[in-house]
A and B are shown apart, each in its own frame.
Chain A
């Protein structure tokens, strides 16, 4: 069966450290993968998109990698800040069209 798995346990880190979140998938062959941030009681906000032929993508303090052999994406936040505390969702294109399938998300808590 098809699965998207993100760390179910919250990730607690100290301010200034690098946070690394994992997204693993099975029985998908996504053309691209997206990462979103969701704050409590709010809708998700798009962060980064990475295509299957891209190994790495960066945007300011954010970095995403995409390994189609391992079927895994890693999401890094460098020099983390308490304001980065949120739930981070990965999403894959579902087969065709524009439908996305989302992981359950990982809660990140950055402590000062």
Chain B
């Protein structure tokens, strides 16, 4: 149980392109989803917290106009990297927690490797 699917797994595109990444909870309802970014050999850095039906909360230093997050349903959140540039190349990972809240583990997708040329 508690499967999170992330798509696509890999994207290679030209500078200036906008890229959309989907995160779906397949077998549970996720009131909260998280978006992380991970550089090689570094820890996961939280970018934003996404709650169903409300605006995402961004961490300090993360541009909300650059990284658009939509959490339209209890099973889907999307991250759009707008006008991507080479410095946006990274490994983006989403996670989700169920409706019970509290101190529960996060269930992660398998990440999206984004490469901007």
Contacts and interface: CB of A to CB of B under 8 A. Distances in A.
Interface size class of B (residues with CB under 8 A): 20 to 34
Interface stretch (B11-19, B70-78, B79-87, B107-115): B107-115
Nearest to B95: A43
Given A43-B109, A44-B108, A99-B34, A32 B103 contact: yes
Contacts of B46: 94, 99-101
A45 interface: yes
A46 B2 CA distance: 11
Interface residues of A, number: 25
Given A41-B113, A98-B97, A34 B108 contact: no
Contacts of A105: 43
Contacts of A89: 43-44
Given A31-B103, A32-B103, A98-B101, A41 B43 contact: no
A99 B49 contact: yes
Interface of A: 4, 31-32, 34, 36, 41-46, 49, 51, 89, 93-94, 97-105
Please name the 6 residue pairs, one residue from A and one from B, whose CB atoms are nearest each other, closest first: A43-B108, A46-B105, A104-B43, A102-B43, A102-B44, A43-B110
Given A43-B4, A46-B106, A105-B43, 16 more contacts: A41-B111, A42-B110, A43-B93, A43-B109, A43-B110, A44-B108, A45-B108, A46-B105, A49-B105, A97-B49, A98-B32, A98-B49, A98-B97, A99-B34, A99-B46, A100-B106
14 contacts: A41-B91, A42-B110, A43-B95, A44-B44, A45-B108, A46-B105, A97-B49, A98-B32, A98-B104, A99-B46, A100-B106, A101-B46, A104-B41, A104-B43
